[in-house]
Amino acid sequence: MPDKFLSEFKIGKGIEPSQYSALTLAYIGDCIFELYTRLYLIKDCDYPVKVLHKNATKYVKASAQAEYFRRIEGILSEEEMAVFKRGRNVNSRPTKNADLFDYKNATGVEALIGYTYLKGDEDRLFELLSYLTEPTT
């Protein structure tokens, strides 16, 4: 994300990412996760919007984000794992189509992505997000 985008809203000025609530981190992380997914889907081709939306939901639904966590779990630092757990353990209710375990893990993933974004650590953010689009083995 361009620096001007962050500076326009004074993000990161006066409040440390660790001071945001877990749900606020998840809120911004959800946005970043979805933006990354959408940009990934249009990088090679201009598909109809209906196709793009259908493909995007495969990445951003709770079960997919829970699977994504299993991919990145082994490379997380203690600090990152603590942020994930803050998000995972927050008291929230799953959507009607989501399993509680998947939903909680998805919230943890979103909190981690939001935290990394707000820290301004673009290299780490893109490293973590690159696991989203890796083929499963």
Per-residue CA distances from 21 to 43, 61, 129 (Å)? 33, 22, 22
Q: What is the mean pLDDT of residues 59-87?
A: 93
Cβ proximity of 103 and 94 under 8 Å: yes
- Of these residues, 30, 44, 99, 123, which one is catalytic? 30
In whole angstroms, give the CA distance from residue 112 to residue 83: 6
Whole-prediction pTM: 0.86
Catalytic status, residue 30: yes
What domains lie within the chain, and their CATH numbers?
32-133 (1.10.1520.10)
pLDDT digits (tens, 9 = 90+) for 11-41: 666 788 999 999 999 999 999 999 998 888 8
